[in-house]
Every structure is written in C-alpha cells, then in structure tokens.
Structure 1
Amino acid sequence: MRRRLLSSTLVVAAIAVLLLGVPLGVVVSRLIVEDANQQLRAEATRLVGEVEYARIQETPLDPQQLEQKYPDRYIQIYVNGNPPTATVVGTSPQSGHSMHEEAKSDSGIYVRVSRDKDQVEQDVRARLLLIVALAAAALAVAVGLAIVQSRRLTLPLQDLAKIADRLGSGDARPSKHRYGIPELDRVAEVLDRSAARISDLLTREREFATDASHQLRTPLTGLTMRLEEIVAASDEPTVVREEGEAAIVQAERLTAVIDELLAAARRQRIAQAEPISVDEVLVQQVTEWEPAFRRVGRSVSLGGTRGLKALATGGGLGQVVASLLENSIQHGGGDVTVSTSSSDNYIVIEVADEGPGISDEIAPKVFERNVSGGGGTGLGLTLARALAAADGGRLELVRRRPAVFAIFLRPAEVPGRRVVTGPA
C-alpha cells in the first residue's frame, strides 16, 4: 500500500508540475525576449532625442561617451544632411545572432540599436533552469509528503490489523489507540467496543462457571443430607419414603437451579418473572434447611404476613433464600427467623439471626465478589443479589448486628392478613 501511495502521489505531482512548469517556461521566455526588445526600442527613442538636441545645439556627438552610456550595444546613427553623415558606436554582433530596434524623427534622424542575442538566450536558459530546479524541489517535497502520509496511513492500518488479530486470539483488551484520522479512529472505536463486548462475554462465561459451581453446591448439600437421613432411617419404612420423596424434590430443585443459572447467563430471567406464592417458596426452603439447623442446635422459623404473592421466579427466589440461610448457618448464630411483610410498593422478606453480625469493615462491601468475613468463597451473597435483581427486586443488608438481610420484591396482588407462625 505504501508503494502505491508513493507512486500515485509522484505521478500526480509530476503531472501538476508539467501542467504548470511548461506554460510558465514558455511565458517566461517570451517575457524576457519582449523585455529585451522593449529596452532596445526605448534606447533607440532616447538616442533620437539626444541626437536631435545635439543638432540643435550644434555640438558633435562623442562616440566614446555613447559607448560608455550604452555598453554592449551596436549603435548606428544617420543624420540627413548635405551630404548625409553617419555615426557608428560599438562592435557589430554576428549575423543571425543579433536583436535590433529602430527609431527616427521627422527631421531625418535615424537610429538603429542592436545587441547580441546570445546574452538574451543565456538569460532565458538561466530562468528555465530556475524553473526546472523549482519543479524538482516541488517533486521532492511531494515525495516527502507522500512518505509521511503513507506512514501515517499504513502504520495505523497495521496496528488495527494487529488489534483485530489479537481479538481473534482471545485477547480482548481495548487498545484505546487513536491516530488523528477520523475514519481510522472510528474503526479503532468499533474495535474497542467489540473488545469490550468480547471481554464482557468472556467474563460472564467465567463468572457463570464459578457461579454454577457455587450455586449447585447448596442443593447438592441438601440432597446429601436427605440421603443421609434415608440411610439413618433405613429401619423405618415411612421415614425412608418421606426422605426419599424429599431427595427427589432436591434433585428436581437441582435441575431447576441449573435452568436458572443458564437463564441468568443469557439475561432472560426478567422476562420470566411471574406472580408466585411467597409462602410456598419459604416453606420449601425452611423445610429443607430445618434438619441442618437442628444438627447444630439451632432453629429456623417463619413469621410475618401470609398469603403474599410477588413477581419473581420460584427457582430464583428459592436460591436467594437458600443462600441467606446457608450464610446464616455458616457465619451467624442463634435462631433464624424468616419474616414477610408488605407495602404498596414492595413485598419484603427478612432473614435475621442472633449471631455477632457483620463487622464494620466488611459491611460496606458484603455483596462484592470474593469478599467474605469467615473464610467462605465470597460468592453467595453476590450471586443472591444478582438473582434478586434479575427478578426485578433487590437484596439489602438492613441491619449489621445481629445481621438482618431483606429481599424486596414487586407485589403481584393486595397483601393478605398478618399471622405469626412457630418453627416450621
């Protein structure tokens, strides 16, 4: 490309120089010749006047004085008289290499001034050489500008090609290079936006893998507990049946969790939100987590308003509540209360325990990824907040000590009556 730019610029510059230089050379040559003729004509006219004046004053012409006054000229002066007289000044130029002009007066004075034509031609050649030198300088400048311009164009294109190749190899870092050329800057901006989108997609894929491994752990833990209950109660058929059915529910919930994670990865959950019974989700979660709390000598109970319906997805809300209960059993203390309330704008689900709470250092960033105050993964609350937001709600820490987390959801209907229940 650089060679093509150089050759095309050189051709354009050469054509421009020829179109301007040739007419300029012709015009300059004619101007020099015309100027020389006008100068000879003026000298001849002036000499006629001088001769006329000398004749009136009856003083003779001095050839030496005329030669000094008009150097490099061959002057012939004829005065009509009785007999006519002639005066010659200077050396006659070679035949065919002279320029001459004539002038005469009414009184019979005739003057002819000649000069060597070689001097004029030498002047013409000098001016033409100057024009050629200027043309060559113009071509040199054009080549220099072409080199600069070709570098200015080809280097950014090479850089953009490297950026595109880097994007294709998976390196999605925006370059933020700008070149001062609007068209190339626009291409660079498009590549930067593409790099940002690719980086975002790669980040989502990595986060999805991490989130999936974390979120699948909770229902797998519950399934493991149910299987342990089955093994422990193998001598009691009724208990074995109940625990087996609970294990099936856990497996179905595990499948639902996978569907929820895939939907969240594709950003489709908001469109899937629908009116659901809050009680069903909370009773299911409390039932599943009650054995785990019982093993560590703690309890979990439901309280607040019953019969509420919110806009959410069952799997998503279940995951949020499960994450809060798991967080409480790992980092909290005492009994856990899951209470519900409603207002004109929100359905509120609060999960509170009686533990030491969250430190002031961790509290402002408790929902940030990889932040944990107790040696955990630092992903549970981050994912819970993301799932709540995907359903059009939000998850907040409303009290630090003891810790109280609140889930705010959009109401689907008028709240029901307020009741308080005991442990589930």
Structure 2
Amino acid sequence: MRERLVAILVGLSVAVVGLYGIPRAYLVADLVHDSEVRKVERSADLIAVLLTERLAAAEPTRVTTDDLEPLLIEGESIEYVAPDGSLARAGTPLARQAAQDISVTRELTGGGRLTLSRSGELIEERVSDAVLPLVLLGAGVLLAAAVVGWVLARRLSRPFAELASIADDIGKGRFDVEVPHYNVPEAEAIGDSLRRGARRLDELLQRERDLAVSASHELRTPIAALRLELEDLAMWPQTPPDVADELRSCIPELTRLSEAVTHYIDTARDQRRPDADADPGS
C-alpha cells in the first residue's frame, strides 16, 4: 500500500511537472533567443553608428580588424565591407551557418556594410543557463513529492496495519483487545466493525462456556447419581444374584459415559482458549 501511494503521488508530480515544466522550458528558450536577437540588433546598430562617425571624421581612416575587435564579445564575429570593396573581419567567423546562429546586417550611411554574427553555441549555452533552474526546480518537486508521499503513505497505512494485527488477535480468540479510533473514515469504519464483531464473538463464547458448565452439571450429576443407585441396588440383599450381576455390568458403561462427557467438555473448552492457536501442543 505504501509503495502504491508513493508511486501515485510521484506519478502525479511527474505529470504536473511535465505539463508545466516542458512548455515553460520551451517558452524560456524562445524568450532567451529573442532577447539575444535584440541584443545583436542593438549591438549592430551601435557599431554602425560608431563606424559612421569614424568614417565621417575630418580625416577619414580605413576600418581595420584592430578597430573592430574591442567591439565584440566572446562568440561574436563581425565583417565590414568598405565602399571600395575592402574587407575587414574580427572575431571567430562561423564555420557554417546553423539555425541557432544570429546574423544582423546594417548598411552604413556613408557607404559600406557590416554584418554582426553571434554563435549558436553561445545562444544554446545561455538557453541552458536559463532552463537549468526549471530543471532543478522540477527535480526538487519530484524529490519533495517522493518524501511527502512516503510520509503520507506511512501515516495512512499505519491504521490499517494496526487493524490487521487486531483482527489477527481477534481471530486467535482475544476478544478483549482495544480497537483505537482513527481520523481516517475508512479505518474508523473497519474499527467499528471489529469492535462489534469482537463483542458478538465474546458473547457467543460466553454462551458456549455457560452451556458447557450447564451440560457438565446436567449430565455428569445424573450419571453419577444413577451409578450410585445401581451400586446400591446391586448390594441390596433383596436383589436376586443374577439381577445384581446385571446391574454391576452396567456400572462400567456408566463410567465410560461419564468419562466421554468429561472428555468432550474439556476438549471443547481447550479449543476455545485464546492461546489454543498459539500453542497447539499444550
């Protein structure tokens, strides 16, 4: 029962975490990706403004790799094509375009074009960092569900384990056991049934004991009186010898009848003892 309750609670927790966590993880991943796209667009706009101002200076200079390198972060690359077709690159260019890569192109006012790219590996890393708390939270919820389920299962199954032990005692003839009350309605209903059954069985057992005592008195006393009467008649002088012999021959039969009645009553009493099942050989 405990294992089933724990499995049910953990299963429900898995379903809740799955129904909430998986869509939430996809949503967080989309939000992180959109945020990275906006960051790349803002960076491209800022770099375009800086390059435009540089090229518009009184003494324009050529844009070099050394000029572009400080404008990048790890995982980014930039490519600038001057109006005359000269090319300047900085950062680590993408080996191949992937679906997760982000590239933004901006046309400069004075001519030229720049392309800013951010690696998909960097995007995936940031998505993983954003999703990791959800994964840890889901694992924590499942662990808490398992612990709470085990505690609840232990508390809920304890009354039924106690009732099973009480029912075993009643089956052994211990009808004076005390059945506690429980807050669980099902356990309380079983406890009420055990109390009524124990009282009923105790009443029946008491009736059988009273019947055994009554039978002992009603049977053995007349048999003993009849035996004494036959012995007296057998020894009476007026009794013919052949009749006296016949009366004496009946006395052993009465003795066996008395012993049979005693044995039956004693056997019935022993079988109804509370510890009869616990020690059959006694």
TM > 0.5 fold call? yes
Equivalent in the alignment of 2:280: none
Greater per-residue helix proportion: 2
Structure 2 residue runs without a partner (length 5+): 212-282
Equivalent in the alignment of 1:303: none
**What is the DSSP-based 3-state SS (H/G/I as helix, E as strand, rest coil) of the residue aligned with 1:112?**
strand
Equivalent in the alignment of 2:157: 154
Deviation string 1:354-413 (CA, Å, 9 cap, x unpaired) is: xxxxxxxxxxxxxxxxxxxxxxxxxxxxxxxxxxxxxxxxxxxxxxxxxxxxxxxxxxxx
Pick one of 108, 118, 121 that aligns with 1:115.
Answer: 118
Higher relative contact order (CA 8 A, sep 6+): 2
CA distance in 2, matches of 1:133, 1:20: 14
Deviation string 1:86-110 (CA, Å, 9 cap, x unpaired) is: 5433232212254311223554353
Instruction: Compute the displacement of 1:112 (Å).
Output: 1.0
CA distance in 2, matches of 1:126, 1:45: 27
**What is the DSSP-based 3-state SS (H/G/I as helix, E as strand, rest coil) of the residue aligned with 1:94?**
coil
8 Å Cα contact 2:94-2:119 kept in structure 1: yes
Report whether the alignment pairs 1:89 with 2:90: yes
Which amino acid in 1 is paired with 2:160?
L
Instruction: Compute the displacement of 1:192 (Å).
Output: 8.3
Instruction: Compute the displacement of 1:181 (Å).
Output: 3.4
8 Å Cα contact 1:172-1:195 kept in structure 2: no
Counterpart mapping for 1:251-400 below 5 A = none
Which amino acid in 2 is paired with 1:136?
A
Equivalent in the alignment of 1:25: 25
Equivalent in the alignment of 2:73: 71
Equivalent in the alignment of 1:44: 44
Structure 1 residue runs without a partner (length 5+): 210-424
CA RMSD of aligned residues (A): 3.8
Instruction: Give the structure with higher Rg (CA).
Output: 1
8 Å Cα contact 1:100-1:112 kept in structure 2: yes
8 Å Cα contact 1:102-1:111 kept in structure 2: yes
Report whether the alignment pairs 1:139 with 2:149: no
CA distance in 2, matches of 1:96, 1:69: 22
Which amino acid in 2 is paired with 1:95?
R
State TM-score, norm by structure 1.
0.40
Instruction: Compute the displacement of 1:126 (Å).
Output: 4.9
CA distance in 2, matches of 1:89, 1:20: 42
8 Å Cα contact 1:74-1:114 kept in structure 2: yes
Which amino acid in 2 is paired with 1:19?
L
Percent of aligned positions that are identical: 23
8 Å Cα contact 1:2-1:150 kept in structure 2: yes
Equivalent in the alignment of 2:57: 57
Deviation string 1:265-319 (CA, Å, 9 cap, x unpaired) is: xxxxxxxxxxxxxxxxxxxxxxxxxxxxxxxxxxxxxxxxxxxxxxxxxxxxxxx
Instruction: Compute the displacement of 1:113 (Å).
Output: 0.4
Which amino acid in 2 is paired with 1:101?
V
8 Å Cα contact 2:2-2:154 kept in structure 1: yes
CA distance in 2, matches of 1:50, 1:141: 54
CA distance in 2, matches of 1:25, 1:9: 23
8 Å Cα contact 2:79-2:90 kept in structure 1: yes
Equivalent in the alignment of 2:34: 34
Which amino acid in 1 is paired with 2:178?
P
